[in-house]
Structure 1
Amino acid sequence: MANILVVDDEMGIRELLSEILSDEGHAIQLAENAQQAREARAQGAPDLVLLDIWMPDTDGVTLLKEWQRDGLLTMPVIMMSGHATIDTAVEATRIGALNFLEKPIAMQKLLKAVQAGLTRAQETVRSPSLAPRPAVAPPPEDGAVAAGAPFSAAMPQAHASVRGAGATAGEGHMFNLSFDLPLREARDAFERMYFEHHLGREGGSMTRVAEKTGLERTHLYRKLKQLGVEPGKLAKKNQ
Structure 2
Amino acid sequence: MKAGSEDQKDWQMANILVVDDEMGIRELLSEILSDEGHVVEMAENAQQAREMRIAGTPDLVLLDIWMPDTDGVTLLKEWQRDGLLTMPVIMMSGHATIDTAVEATRIGALNFLEKPIALQKLLKAVQQGLSRGQEVARPQPTYFTRPAAPHDASPAPHIAASPVAGSAVMQPAIAPTAAPQTEPQRFNLSFDLPLREARDAFERAYFEHHLAREGGSMTRVAEKTGLERTHLYRKLKQLGVEPSKLGKKNL
The TM tier, using the shorter chain, reads 0.7 to 0.9
Partner of 1:47: 59
Pick the aligned partner of 1:213 from 217, 225, 233. Answer: 225
**Shift in alpha-carbon separation, 1:136–1:29, aligned structure 2, 3 A:** farther
Q: Please state how far the C-alpha of 1:178 moved relative to its aligned partner.
A: 2.0
Pick the aligned partner of 1:63 from 68, 72, 75. Answer: 75
- Distance in 1 (CA, whole Å) between partners of 2:114 and 2:209 is 35
**Shift in alpha-carbon separation, 1:94–1:226, aligned structure 2, 3 A:** same
Give the alignment's Cα RMSD to 1 decimal: 1.5
1:136–1:201 CA contact under 8 A, matched in 2: no
Cα deviation per residue 1:138-181 (whole Å; 9 max; x = unaligned)? 32xxxxxxxxxxxxxxxxxxxxxxxxxxxxxxxx5443222222
1:1-239 paired onto structure 2 within 5 Å = 1-126=13-138, 137-139=181-183, 173-239=185-251
* TM-score using structure 1 length: 0.79
- Distance in 2 (CA, whole Å) between partners of 1:174 and 1:44 is 42
Structure showing greater Rg: 2
Cα deviation per residue 1:61-81 (whole Å; 9 max; x = unaligned)? 111111111121111100011
- Distance in 1 (CA, whole Å) between partners of 2:29 and 2:71 is 19
- Distance in 2 (CA, whole Å) between partners of 1:62 and 1:184 is 56
1:46–1:75 CA contact under 8 A, matched in 2: yes
- Distance in 2 (CA, whole Å) between partners of 1:79 and 1:216 is 27
Structure 1 stretches of 4+ moved >6 Å: none
Q: State the number of aligned residues.
A: 200
Gaps of 5+ in 2: 1-12, 140-178
Q: Percent identity?
A: 87
Residue 138 of structure 1 aligns with an amino acid whose one-letter code is T
- Distance in 1 (CA, whole Å) between partners of 2:228 and 2:180 is 24
**Secondary structure at the counterpart of residue 195 of structure 1:** helix
Q: Please state how far the C-alpha of 1:229 moved relative to its aligned partner.
A: 0.4
- Distance in 1 (CA, whole Å) between partners of 2:25 and 2:202 is 34
- Distance in 2 (CA, whole Å) between partners of 1:174 and 1:121 is 39
**Secondary structure at the counterpart of residue 25 of structure 2:** helix
Residue 190 of structure 1 aligns with an amino acid whose one-letter code is F
Gaps of 5+ in 1: 128-134, 140-171
**Secondary structure at the counterpart of residue 25 of structure 1:** coil
- Distance in 2 (CA, whole Å) between partners of 1:183 and 1:80 is 47
Q: Which has the higher contact order (CA 8 A, sep 6+)?
A: 2
- Distance in 1 (CA, whole Å) between partners of 2:186 and 2:41 is 40
**Shift in alpha-carbon separation, 1:68–1:201, aligned structure 2, 3 A:** same
- Distance in 2 (CA, whole Å) between partners of 1:16 and 1:223 is 19
* TM-score using structure 2 length: 0.76
